Each structure stands twice: as C-alpha cells, then as structure tokens.
Amino acid sequence: MQNRKLKIGIVVGEVSGDTLGAQLMRRFREQGIDAEFEGIGGPQMIAEGFKSYYPMDILSVMGIVEVLKDLKKLFAVRDGLVEKWTQHPVDVFVGVDAPDFNLRLAKSLKQKNLPIKTVQYVSPSVWAWRQGRVHGIKASIDLVLCLFPFEKAFFKKWDVPAAFVGHPLASQLPLENPIAAAKQELGLDQQQQHIALLPGSRRGEIERLGPLVLDAAYILTQKYPQFKFLIPAINDARKQQIEALLQSYPSALQDKVQLMENRGTESKIGRQVMNASDMIALASGTATLEAMLLHRPMVTFYKLNRITYWIAKLLVKIPYYSLPNIIAGKKVIQELIQDDATPERLAAEIEKLIYIETAQIQVMQHITMHKQLLSDNSEDPAQAILAILDR
C-alpha cells in the first residue's frame, strides 16, 4: 500500500474533528506516506491541502428534533459522497466523530461492496447510551480508533477491531501551564481576573445557551464587579450573533464582556480563552476535556430541545455527561443539565470556583487525570489505518 499514493476520504463535522483530521494528515506525511485527502473538512484540514466537497458546517446539527429538520439535506450530502467514491473509490474512509452521519455513510459504502476500508476515529459513546449500535458498528466499520483506553476494552468485549490511539491533546498540552503566559498571549491584563464563557460553537447552541451564560454573567457582575468575561467567537458569523445577543443587556454587562475572535486558519481561540481564564463555564462536550487538560477550574452545562432531552435520558446508561466525570468515574466538576441549567444555578456554581480551596482541589484532580491519559500506552493512528489496508 505504501508504494503508491493512497487516497484517503475523511469526513468531519465540527472544530474538534477538524483538529483531529489535520493532525491525522500530518501523521501520514511525517512518516513519509504519500497520500491525498478528500471529503468534508474544515479550515485546518484545508490548510493542509485537503479537498473538501462540502462545508464542514453542513453537518453541525445536534439533537434528534433538529436533525429531523435537516434530514433531506444530510441524506443528499451522504449520497453525494457515496456517488463520488463509487466512481472514484478512496482506499479508506475515516469518519472523524459525527457518528450519526459517519456510521450511516460507512454502512452505505459497505452496501455498495466498494473496495473501501472503513474507520471510525473517535468512538461513538456506545458505552454510555444506545449500546445496540455496537452491532451496526461491527457490521460496517473495519476499525475503531479510540481516544480513551476504557473504550478499547468495551469494543474488545463485542469483538470489534479497535485501537487505543490516545487523545492528542493529552500529549500536546503541558502538565505545567502558568496562566500568566496564557493571558500575555491574548494581550490581557495580567492582574485582571477573567471568567471564560463558552456557550458552544454552533449557531443553535448560542441561541439556546447564550442567554443562559449572559444572564449568569449579569448576576455575577452585580456582586463581583472586578471580574471580566471572555467569550470566544470561532468565526465572524458567531461573533455577529453574540454581539446581537449582547445588545439586549445593560451596558454594565456589555462593558465587562470581551469577545475574542479567531485568528488565522487554526480554530484555537476557544482553547486560548479557556487557558487565559481563571475559571470556565462551558457547554458540555469535547471542550470539557480540553479545559481539564488545561487544568482550569470549571462548571459545565447543557440544554437540549425538551423532546430530544427526554428521549436521550431514557437511553443513557451512565450517571455523568461530561468527559472529566466519565474518566474519573465520579463527579469532579459540576454538571448543570436541562432544568438545572438556570442563570441562578450557573452563577452560584461559578461563584464557588472563586474560592481558592475549591478551585485547587478541582485543579489537582485535573492534573491526576492528565497524567493517567499520558501513562497509558497508545498506538499510532496512521499505522493502525495502514495495518487494516495491508490485511
């Protein structure tokens, strides 16, 4: 397989997937593997030479009800990719996260009997909910690349080929991480205390969660006028959306909120903002792992469409929603989900993090989990993919 140029199809649906996809492309090239990449990618992957047939945002739909509204569009994208790869097959398809879309795409490719190996990079949370999906994964996926060791152990029980490749952030982010340097990188006042507010990177998340974080910030501003709030905007559309939302609040809050724009092609403003902040309030998702690896005290929250939430609640098999709590197997950060996610509760939980002892306990737990992820042996994702091509 290494004697000719490989054709690798990759599909990502959000910023974190774009980061993993770009890193995977670099892994192949660093090892001298001649490959070309196509499918659906974001700005980081495109900067690496990726050919994207559709904008990454087209897959940025969350929730059962929300997906139903866009089902026709998503089917058209899936069918378009299947048609392209039927006419001009890639050697391997790598779906990065976005399991609802990528697993269906892999199944469609298998049904066509195409000579394409299928890989799912980032395990779907089958260990947490809808465990019946593991049968579909076994039928349509040749290899699962897992970010956490407990995921590989789960798939081994079901006889699904899996490799633990580690989470790239665990090795990228240092164990020693002084906040002063992070504030300097963003040009922030070293003496000023900052609270990061991350309502999400999608339009729908900001619509649902933006008022929640701004209401909580307004409550805190009245009691702690010394704090400033940082909100990252990954692109101009999100910046305009947040600015429009902020206009409905009193100037007392507007003066305390600073929008931080993304610079360049690498979508890392969210990480920079979290790193430069003394505490973080963020939407539950992959960013909670990032905040943990940055060793910053945090509280997480989330609200879904009510119907989506109650359906999901019936299917969830684990007691926690956020990755730090799932990895630890206990509650190390506060989770405010659905009806618990009120401005008053969020403000109260952020206030707890102001106390040094509470924050330090959480930070020490973050460092312990960071070391745990670093200590486990992992495989190289590029080599794991090449291994299934050589079979």
Is there a single domain that holds both residue 92 and residue 118?
yes
Is there a single domain that holds both residue 50 and residue 190?
no
> Considering the chain, what is the average pLDDT of its residues?
91
Query: Does residue 151 fall inside a structural domain?
Result: yes
Is there a single domain that holds both residue 352 and residue 326?
yes
Is there a single domain that holds both residue 274 and residue 208?
yes
pLDDT of residue 69: 60
- 382: number of CA atoms within 13 Å, CB side? 20
Query: Does residue 311 fall inside a structural domain?
Result: yes
How many independent structural domains does the chain possess?
A: 2
Strand order in the sheet with 194-198: 257-261, 228-233, 194-198, 279-283, 298-302, 334-337
- Altogether, the residues listed in the chain come to a count of 391
Q: pLDDT tens-digit profile of 239-257? A: 999 999 999 999 999 999 9
Is there a single domain that holds both residue 95 and residue 79?
yes
Q: pLDDT tens-digit profile of 355-372? A: 888 899 999 999 999 988
pLDDT of residue 65: 46
- pLDDT, average across residues 100-112: 95
Is there a single domain that holds both residue 185 and residue 132?
no
Is the pLDDT score of 336 beyond 90?
Answer: yes
Sorting pLDDT into bands at 50, 70 and 90, what band is 51? Answer: very high
How far apart, in whole angstroms, are the C-alpha atoms of residue 63 and residue 266? 27
* CATH number, residue 25: 3.40.50.2000
Please give the residue range of the domain that contains residue 148. 6-166+377-389
Query: Does residue 1 fall inside a structural domain?
Result: no
Beta bridge partners of 203: none
Nearest to 385 by CA among 9, 4, 50: 9
User: Is residue 306 within 8 Å of residue 212, measured between CB atoms?
Assistant: no
Residue 104: partners with Cβ closer than 8 Å, 6 or more residues away: 78
> What percent of the chain lies above the pLDDT cut of 70?
94
Is there a single domain that holds both residue 162 and residue 206?
no
Sorting pLDDT into bands at 50, 70 and 90, what band is 64? Answer: very low
Lowest mean pLDDT among 37-46, 100-109, 326-335, 373-382: 373-382
Is there a single domain that holds both residue 121 and residue 221?
no
Query: Buried b / exposed e across 39-58, counting CB within 10 Å, b at 16+?
Result: bbbbbbbbebebebebebbe
Is there a single domain that holds both residue 159 and residue 184?
no
- pLDDT, average across residues 311-335: 85
Query: Does residue 300 fall inside a structural domain?
Result: yes
User: Is residue 294 within 8 Å of residue 301, measured between CB atoms?
Assistant: no
Q: pLDDT tens-digit profile of 167-216? A: 878 988 999 999 999 999 999 999 999 999 999 988 889 999 999 999 99
Is the pLDDT score of 218 beyond 60?
Answer: yes
Is there a single domain that holds both residue 152 and residue 96?
yes
Query: Does residue 192 fall inside a structural domain?
Result: yes
Is there a single domain that holds both residue 356 and residue 215?
yes
Is there a single domain that holds both residue 119 and residue 178?
no
